[in-house]
Chain A
């Protein structure tokens, strides 16, 4: 049994144009081991954010369920913290208060001093020392998401759910925060499930990348192993021989699905016979050739 298992999850929404239901995705099964960093890539509207919300417990699956550490995880909880695309910081609270709100809930038995020390530790970790008493409106996008990351890491969740966390941050800052995320994750080693559009980001951060077809009726078509050893940095990762192989493979997949629209005639080649995702492993390919 895997640490986090998304088990035959389907999601239907009522059809907005009339009766019946629209299937967003169907029969999605993902197994994630403890400490693993798994990313899902897909086009907009394929339901990957819905999938993340289901894991977080913010939405209920139409079928199937989420099993965390041998127990069904239904409803939101402190063991699955989300880093939101639009930061979701409370604008009426300072940086300190935003993080403290989560810390106090996670450790209700702590006294004020313990909470303060803990919050300051994470503010230091994301390099926001001096901005404790600022409100989100006074922060740049990058700084806001640093607060979001600090809040998420500070409650030490079993699973960290990243919902396109860097999509609203400018490209230069994005790279810096990605490396900060690697640093933090290296020490905490939470299990991470991320959703993104950004192929480079996925390769830099993930152990495995799941490729999702377009919705409706989306599914996980392929599973790409990122066969680049850690520690990785943005500077050196592009020199690895597998980097462009993986990158090109993912981009081909995404372009193919953008062209074919909903299902596409190439769909059959994306999936093995039994419906489970095709595993793409360039390590295995190269050793097989040898």
Chain B
């Protein structure tokens, strides 16, 4: 631990060149640090493991606590991010007064209240990648004004998330309903399925963004274009898998439905759709992912307010911390939507 702190302190205090003034090389330093943290975590882990064993839900061979490992990975990531983006503080030694004044005039450095020079924080923002602390500050500011509307294009992050989620939801829902209906029709009619399947296979791999110029030209409204891009992204996987799922239904289910003389409506909702539900949900899951991927660039390109737009506007502002914050928001929105979807999926699937 001693070498760890000497390394850390040397890094923090190094004035001119952080690279050469290290006591240890970065890789060796990281290695020692990792070992010491790991040893500490291993000691912490022991009672946790007993807890899991006595709970009896885990298989006997599984060792370790995933939470601790996740936390460890996060800490490691943040630390290495922080350290690799750390910039040396401004050191005026060896500089003449003229040089300093020129630098101040250029806006490279600013003079504090105590008269000492430091790097201009505004310029620092675009020098290299911002560290986690800068992103954290940005996030705090953004979240503090999450529900504020400051201007036509300056809505709080909560609104942006709401816009993205509703845009995504509308496109995905419409695509799913149409895809499932068409898929059932195709799945029940083998000839029609074989006739239409080549077209589905051609349309399926087309990137939904490739449709955007055409859609924008046709509907002439970026709002609806963004929804339609999501729609296009979500349509094909669900359509293809629904048709496949209904087509490959086990015959006996249909036989039972035929013998007990279910009406076509009951046959559809009590037998065909539930039986094909696991396959349909698989298709929906693929659609869900591709729609989520499509919504961000659609917002960027169309300039529609949303989390994708946020990422682009922060880039235009040269606020890299803002870009990173936007990326994190996209990730969080994706995770929340995905877990919600999985919960819904759990209700309709069954075990054979």
Q: Which residues does A use to contact B, with CB under 8 Å?
A: 56-58, 75-78, 80-82, 84, 86, 88, 90-93, 101-102, 105-106, 135, 137, 155
CB of A84 within 8 A of CB of B261, answer: no
Docked Cα-Cα span, A80 to B255, in Å, equals: 12
CB of B351 within 8 A of CB of A77, answer: no
CB of B275 within 8 A of CB of A81, answer: no
Docked Cα-Cα span, A31 to B59, in Å, equals: 60
Known A76-B258, A76-B259, A78-B259: A86·B351 in contact at CB below 8 Å: no
Closest to A152 in B: B259
CB of A90 within 8 A of CB of B260, answer: no
CB of B350 within 8 A of CB of A58, answer: no
CB of A91 within 8 A of CB of B352, answer: yes
Known A135-B351, A137-B352: A92·B258 in contact at CB below 8 Å: no
Known A91-B352, A101-B270, A137-B352: A58·B258 in contact at CB below 8 Å: yes
Flag B168-188 by CB within 8 Å of A: 1 or 0 each: 000000000000000000000
Chain B residue contacts of A135, Cβ below 8 A = 350-351
B252, B258, B262, B277: the one contacting A84 at CB < 8 Å is B252
Closest to B348 in A: A92
Known A91-B351, A137-B350, A137-B352: A105·B253 in contact at CB below 8 Å: no
CB of A105 within 8 A of CB of B261, answer: yes
Docked Cα-Cα span, A135 to B351, in Å, equals: 9
Docked Cα-Cα span, A101 to B260, in Å, equals: 8
Chain B residue contacts of A86, Cβ below 8 A = 252
Closest to B273 in A: A92
Task: Tell me how many residue pairs across A and B have CB atoms closer than 8 Å.
Answer: 59
Chain B residue contacts of A75, Cβ below 8 A = 258
Chain B residue contacts of A90, Cβ below 8 A = 253, 256, 271, 274-275
Flag B264-295 by CB within 8 Å of A: 1 or 0 each: 00000011001101000000000000000000
Chain A residue contacts of B271, Cβ below 8 A = 90
Docked Cα-Cα span, A88 to B259, in Å, equals: 12
Chain B residue contacts of A155, Cβ below 8 A = 260
Chain A residue contacts of B255, Cβ below 8 A = 56, 58, 76, 82, 84, 88
A81, A92, A101: the one contacting B350 at CB < 8 Å is A92
- Known pairs A56-B255, A102-B256 / 18 extra A-B pairs, C-beta < 8 Å: A58-B258, A76-B258, A77-B259, A78-B259, A80-B259, A84-B252, A88-B255, A90-B271, A90-B275, A91-B351, A92-B274, A92-B350, A101-B262, A105-B260, A135-B350, A135-B351, A137-B352, A155-B260
CB of B351 within 8 A of CB of A137, answer: yes
Chain B residue contacts of A57, Cβ below 8 A = 258-259
Known A137-B350, A137-B352: A81·B252 in contact at CB below 8 Å: no
Docked Cα-Cα span, A106 to B259, in Å, equals: 10
B253, B262, B270, B277: the one contacting A88 at CB < 8 Å is B253
CB of A105 within 8 A of CB of B262, answer: yes
CB distance from A59 to the nearest CB of B (A): 10
Chain B residue contacts of A77, Cβ below 8 A = 259, 261
Docked Cα-Cα span, A77 to B253, in Å, equals: 15
Chain A residue contacts of B258, Cβ below 8 A = 57-58, 75-76
Known A101-B270, A137-B352: A88·B256 in contact at CB below 8 Å: yes
Flag B339-352 by CB within 8 Å of A: 1 or 0 each: 00000000000111
Chain A residue contacts of B274, Cβ below 8 A = 90, 92-93
Docked Cα-Cα span, A84 to B260, in Å, equals: 14
CB distance from A23 to the nearest CB of B (A): 23
CB distance from A251 to the nearest CB of B (A): 31
Chain B residue contacts of A101, Cβ below 8 A = 256, 260, 262, 270
Known A90-B275, A91-B350: A106·B260 in contact at CB below 8 Å: yes
CB distance from B263 to the nearest CB of A (A): 9
CB distance from A7 to the nearest CB of B (A): 21
Docked Cα-Cα span, A252 to B272, in Å, equals: 45
Closest to A56 in B: B259
Report 5 cross-chain contacts, Cβ distance below 8 Å, ordered by A residue.
A76-B258, A92-B274, A101-B260, A101-B262, A137-B351
Docked Cα-Cα span, A57 to B261, in Å, equals: 12
Docked Cα-Cα span, A88 to B249, in Å, equals: 12
Flag B230-252 by CB within 8 Å of A: 1 or 0 each: 00000000000000000000101
Chain A residue contacts of B277, Cβ below 8 A = 92
Q: 4 nearest interchain CB pairs? A: A88-B252, A92-B350, A105-B260, A76-B258
Docked Cα-Cα span, A137 to B63, in Å, equals: 31
Known A86-B252, A101-B270, A135-B351: A92·B259 in contact at CB below 8 Å: no
Docked Cα-Cα span, A282 to B255, in Å, equals: 39
Residue from B260, B261, B271 whose CB has the most chain A CB atoms within 10 Å: B260
Residue from A77, A78, A88 whose CB has the most chain B CB atoms within 10 Å: A88
Closest to A104 in B: B260
CB distance from B180 to the nearest CB of A (A): 16
Closest to A59 in B: B255
Closest to B256 in A: A88
Known A88-B252, A90-B275, A92-B274: A76·B261 in contact at CB below 8 Å: yes
